[in-house]
Amino acid sequence: MGKKGEQVHGGEWGRRDFLKLVGAGAAVTAGNVALSGSLRQAVAQTAPKEPYKIAIVAFTTGPATSYGLPGHEMLDILVPLTNGKGGILGRKVELSKYDEGAVANVVETFKKLTKQDKVDAILGCSSSASALAGAPIAEEAKTIFINCLARTHKVTWAKEDDPTQIRKYVFKSINDTYTHAASAALAVAKFYPKAKVAHIHPDYAYGHEIHEVFNKVIKKVDPKVEFVADLWPKLFAPDFSPHITKLLAAKPTVIFNSFWGGDSTRFTDQCIQKGVMSKAKVLGDHGEFYSVEKRTLPKELIGHPPFPVEGLPGTPDPRRWPLNKIAFDLYFNKHKNTPPVAASFTAAAYYSLVAAIEKAASLVGSWPNNDQIAAAFKGLAVATPLGWHVYREDNRGVSPKWAGLYKMQPPFSYGIDQIFHLPIEEITAPVGVDPLKWVDTW
């Protein structure tokens, strides 16, 4: 327990507090729709007898485990809480969990879930390639699919290069690659004007998209920025030494990387060994993945900028946004570890799904089908641990992002200092507009 006024987590909120806040609607009346008692009872009487089947497909093995397993762990917490209050509008939730694996494996898993198991909804995937492979399968089967981890901006698009053609049953509850990169550019422009930026990113689509958007955005807001290096190691490379030598030779003031999983902590550890942090600020997802590995943030990263993201410790301020505190405490109390953002992302998707079900039920007066649930996502506003999630006409749920500088925040592995909010309307392309083309209009 911290002193009055402190932003503290860990041990203060638990199952009973969660249920008090979200009420009879399980994890969701904290979101969008609070059905009256009589309507709730009437809808429950129409609920199918079989459970509502939800599956999560995200990595639980291999080098990407740290960006998949926390999603499984969060649902292991939330689903029993929902069922403890009678389920979703009187219908129990049945959770099945699948390792993501290679893209070919994802295709087979989605086919099994939609055709054989006939699940009602799927949450995941960690990889953009996986999400793009699973989306058309879910769409064809009319199964709700919420992409809650991968950053691809095209998962809801029915045609690869046309942002105006949107799938009906596929939704995105996480901000996309372009929003992610633009927020990093704005953070660098604020904290380090006229920076000399060295890029180092994994050599695949995600890394290249991050690099391209970052450069476009920061040139718009800080024309005096310089780019001094572009390096492209392979994904999950074991040794970054040759690249770190080149980074030091370029003499940057800011090193921007988009590594994730074990790549992030391995790169950071090797940078620390070579004294990089004393020569340049290193922007990346370090804190997130040190927390997954149950390691405290290295002292060398204090004062360095994290990759701006949704759901950082202390954002939204838990004193004014209880859902942030509850989600952190539920996870922390079980795992004795800082909740990874993948856990918060998955919680947001779960809250969104149940909120859409409740909204649809309030409109039709009975347990809704998937057509009605899909329609209910349009304009849905859901209170989640990350703040408000608002779903647009393109099936994207957009939410706030924050930037700042790393600090220590016991009992968690890290915290954020000098926090500032990045308005989503300033870092996300409007509906129907290609993000890269939108940046060109700034």
Q: Domains in the chain, start-ordered, CATH in brackets? A: 15-175+315-398 (3.40.50.2300), 178-309+402-440 (3.40.50.2300)
288: its two tokens: 């997130």
Q: Quick one: pLDDT at residue 347?
A: 93
Instruction: Give residue-wise pLDDT tens across range 364-381.
Output: 999 999 999 999 999 999
Compute CA 282 distance to the chain's CA centroid, rounded to the nearest angstrom.
Answer: 22
147: its two tokens: 């992409």
Please give the Cα distance from 217 to 68 (Å, whole number): 29
3-state secondary structure of 227: strand
Instruction: Give residue-wise pLDDT tens across range 387-397.
Output: 888 999 999 99
Spell out the residues 6+ positions from residue 288 whose beta carbon is closer than 8 angstroms to its own: 260, 264, 306, 307, 309, 340, 341
Q: Quick one: pLDDT at residue 33?
A: 55
Instruction: Give residue-wise pLDDT tens across range 205-255.
Output: 889 989 999 999 999 999 999 999 999 999 889 999 999 999 999 999 999
Please give the Cα distance from 379 to 383 (Å, whole number): 13
202: its two tokens: 């994994």
pTM of the model: 0.89
Residue 7 CB: number of other CB atoms within 10 A? 17
- The CA-atom distances, in angstroms, between 38 and each of 45, 80, 84, 287 are 11, 24, 20, 46
